[in-house]
Structure 1
Amino acid sequence: MPRPESSYDRRRLRQWLAGDARADGVARRDLLKLLAAAGLTTAAPVALGTPAAAAAAAATTVAAPGIVKPLPDDWFTIRGTNAETKFPSLAGTGYHTPIDHFFVRNHTSTPVLDARTWKLTVWGDGLAREEPVEFGLDDLKRFPATTRTAFVECAGNGRSFFTTQQGQSVTGTAWTLGAIGTARWKGVRLAEVLRAAGLTRRAVDVMPRGLDAEYVTADGANLGHVRRPLPLSKALDDVLLAYEMNGEELPPDHGHPVRLLVPSWVGISSIKWLGDIEVAAQPLYSPWNTDFYRLFGDAYPEGGSASLTHQTLKSAFELAWNASLPAGADHRLTGRSWSGAGGVGGVEVSTDGGTTWRRARLYDAPRRAGWVRWSTDWRPTTPGTYTLLARATDTTGRRQPETTVLNTQGYLFDAVVRHPVQVF
């Protein structure tokens, strides 16, 4: 049974205090915040090494988005280095998101890698071997193949609604609800590759690292390659090294030739363009589980919440924002709902701003790490502005709330979204 992330954090912080952890690229002040949040603050002196990759770099101009695939205006909204799927474009596309509709989340730009020369290096003091172990794509394909259907969703999906719906200021990309896609992924279980590389009982953390360009913040700090540790319990559970997506070779924008797939967890965990995986006998930290992908704000401890793991609960209409619909006509409203904690077992829809609710018709069974498609019929009789709402309940019994507790980086928005339409 995987350990709760909070107890995992406390255990690895204790190891850090004992001098048995490494925190490359993480500022001392950030680890002290984590200690305060976990109630483990101490006056003991700690020395942290600072690699060259984490040194401050000169400010540079922002590059073009660097996305390889076409981004038709009716399918995508461009947001900096990212492309958000327009939810209406998913209507009628089936359960799996077509690759050409799948959202793109890049920290820098998409690298175009040659699968013939690509190697995955597995290394670290959590292995029995001192020398790194390399796997080419053909080597991975010799392992038994595993196929999983799962969504990948950015932790900031829905972030803009903190501002537009709740009147609160947050930082980060102003996603609406389109930073999600569900695909059929094929690859090899990470557990099998780790065991083949010589996994030992000493292992604590697994740190995958991408081959995209090093990430430089707006103030010029070079944080190095995108990387984020996983607890070994999750790494040995349902994580895939994926090399196919919806029956096709993994495309460049989605991690070619091999990416990690971490079902149900926030998208940053599913590192694209894998280059190496460190298997460590001590806890590991990176900026992506200290500065980012924790919840900060008045409702949280000074050092923030535990590192984000499971995604939250959401619903979206496959309908344009402020869509115009004729009065006196029958309309079939469609949408999708999903949860990182379990399958979605029920969806309710309101067409009068939440005064009354009715159950939507579901087209898919509740599925872990998946979504359900749903519909309901509506015949508005009077012209005017209407507010549509959809709220899901998952198999753990959780239902979408009216509001989401504020966190300053705008992660895990889960409130019912108020969707306006115009009836004429």
Structure 2
Amino acid sequence: MNPLFTPAKDDPGPGRTAAAEGGTRPRVTTTTDGTTPLPVAGGRPGIRKSLPPGTFAVHGTNAETRWEALRGEDYLTPEHLFFVRNHTTTPLIDAATRRLTLWGTGLRAGPVAFTYRDLLEMPAETATAFIECAGNGRRFYGEQQNQKVSGTRWRLGAVGVACWRGVRLAALLERAGMTAAAVALMPRGLDAEYVEGGENLGRVRRPLPVAKALDDVLVAYEMNGRPLPPDHGHPARLVVPGWVGVASIKWLGDIEVSAEPLESPWSTRLYRMHGPGLPPGGGPPLTRIGVKSAFELTWPARLEAGREHLLHGRSWSGNGQVVRVDVSDDEGVSWRPARLHGERHPSGWVRWTFAWTPPSAGNHRLLARAADETGAVQPVRAAYNALGYGFDAVARHPVVVA
């Protein structure tokens, strides 16, 4: 069994529902029909949940979690604190009438459709994993490296960890009759078609290699023990552990299973590195997330002089568990180890603390540098690319001590 997955404790087994066993499976809802976008509310286009300014920084149709809001929270990111990345708007999907359809030349027969109820009645598994936007940390290309990039100016708050429950994608592919000839999948969402620069790119979709699909990908219908909220993919979404967030398609509507390689604008134009030293069409499509760290502090932080402060933070990596975190208050000249504590999951993050007594009043910068189980360590500088993806360098967190 893949160590990422855990059989759901209340899974009643094939052909039996949790309701028959006294469980708490999600109910099929009939809120609105089809893919009706939510109305724009409070000047926040297309996001359903409340976005208090002390909790989120809003970037157009996206909402970034402020790290200080996670201070005191447990391991998992609550839904009300989880960042939102929308290409267009959050749709309201009628789970009772929608079908997840698998189709294509990589199947033995014609299209196979699964209802929401079908998913709930299949053996369930859970996976604790982070989801992170590929552009998380993008603004640091300019602020730390003096490099111009385009795209949403995330700081470090476009990441969250949840316990996802659902059906392994491998199980759906088996039931749909995937053949040995299949090489690629194309999951596609039910959100509105995306228009960029006047060109309609269609619904968000991105190729997924069969090898990854069969390894550790989940078709999730729950987040932290509750049905997926609309902003996070209700009624079902992909969770692709360790990979850039765009691979974890929300509002999953259909999956093409192909005996030929597949491409979309989200793999040929977007979500790949473009810039100096790269081929004219860009580097390969982005997959794994690098090693990253963040302090649970305001930006800038304001701390009292003359006493010790217990700082909190979190570190994560798409390559596996973080095994060490060091902190510096002298621009990386010297480093001291942070104390790792609490839960650890292969595709989650690790929480840590660091006792710091400011050496003086005034302006300081704190640096946190993590290393994962593969030996990968956060670099001093991130590899430049014009779209600002994959910032994994040590972030310099400003602190005002008075």
SS for the counterpart of 2:302 is: strand
Q: Distance in 2 between matches of 1:210 and 1:328?
A: 53
Out of 351-360 and 208-217, give the one that drifted further. 351-360
Q: Does 1:291 align with 2:269?
A: yes
The structural deviation recorded for 1:365 is 5.9
Q: Distance in 1 between matches of 2:392 and 2:64?
A: 18
RMSD: 1.1
C-alpha contact (below 8 Å) 1:81/1:105 kept by paired residues? yes
Q: What residue number does 2:106 align with?
A: 126
Q: Distance in 2 between matches of 1:335 and 1:178?
A: 12
SS for the counterpart of 1:216 is: strand
Q: What residue number does 1:113 align with?
A: 93
Q: Distance in 2 between matches of 1:363 and 1:322?
A: 25
Q: What residue number does 2:8 align with?
A: none
Q: What residue number does 1:147 align with?
A: 126
SS for the counterpart of 1:289 is: helix
Q: What residue number does 1:80 align with?
A: 60
1:90 pairs, out of 51, 61, 70, with: 70
Q: Distance in 2 between matches of 1:399 and 1:367?
A: 18
AA in 2 matched with 1:387: R
Q: Distance in 2 between matches of 1:365 and 1:323?
A: 26
Q: What residue number does 2:372 align with?
A: 394
SS for the counterpart of 1:139 is: helix
AA in 1 matched with 2:96: R
Q: Distance in 2 between matches of 1:175 and 1:320?
A: 15
The structural deviation recorded for 1:356 is 1.9
SS for the counterpart of 2:141 is: helix
AA in 1 matched with 2:179: T
C-alpha contact (below 8 Å) 2:129/2:347 kept by paired residues? yes
AA in 2 matched with 1:169: K
Q: Distance in 1 between matches of 2:190 and 2:202?
A: 10
Greater strand fraction, Structure 1 or Structure 2: 2
- Identity among equivalent pairs (%): 59
1:269 pairs, out of 234, 241, 247, with: 247
Q: What residue number does 1:314 align with?
A: 292
Q: Distance in 1 between matches of 2:312 and 2:329?
A: 13
TM-score of the superposed pair, with normalisation by structure 1: 0.83
Q: Number of residue pairs matched?
A: 360
C-alpha contact (below 8 Å) 1:152/1:180 kept by paired residues? yes
Q: Per the alignment, do residues 381 and 295 of structure 1 end up closer, same or farther by CA in structure 2, a change over 3 Å counting?
A: closer
Q: Distance in 1 between matches of 2:45 and 2:389?
A: 22
Q: What residue number does 1:281 align with?
A: 259
User: Cα deviation per residue 1:218-253 (whole Å; 9 max; x = unaligned)?
Assistant: x21000000001010011111010000000000000
Q: Does 1:185 align with 2:127?
A: no
Q: Distance in 2 between matches of 1:409 and 1:329?
A: 42
Q: Distance in 1 between matches of 2:121 and 2:336?
A: 50
Q: What residue number does 1:408 align with?
A: 386
User: Cα deviation per residue 1:389-420 (whole Å; 9 max; x = unaligned)?
Assistant: 00001111111111012101100001100111
TM-score of the superposed pair, with normalisation by structure 2: 0.88
User: Cα deviation per residue 1:46-103 (whole Å; 9 max; x = unaligned)?
Assistant: xxxxxxxxxxxxxxxxx95210000011110000110000011001111100010000
Q: Distance in 1 between matches of 2:292 and 2:361?
A: 29
Q: What residue number does 2:312 align with?
A: 334
The structural deviation recorded for 1:196 is 0.3
SS for the counterpart of 1:390 is: strand
C-alpha contact (below 8 Å) 2:47/2:89 kept by paired residues? yes
The structural deviation recorded for 1:367 is 3.1
Q: Does 1:169 align with 2:148?
A: yes
2:351 pairs, out of 373, 394, 397, with: 373
C-alpha contact (below 8 Å) 1:299/1:405 kept by paired residues? no
Unaligned runs of at least 5 residues, structure 2: 1-42
Q: Distance in 2 between matches of 1:177 and 1:339?
A: 14
Unaligned runs of at least 5 residues, structure 1: 1-62
2:137 pairs, out of 149, 152, 158, with: 158
C-alpha contact (below 8 Å) 1:215/1:226 kept by paired residues? yes
C-alpha contact (below 8 Å) 1:345/1:366 kept by paired residues? no
Q: What residue number does 2:330 align with?
A: 352
Q: Distance in 2 between matches of 1:381 and 1:125?
A: 65
2:341 pairs, out of 363, 370, 381, with: 363
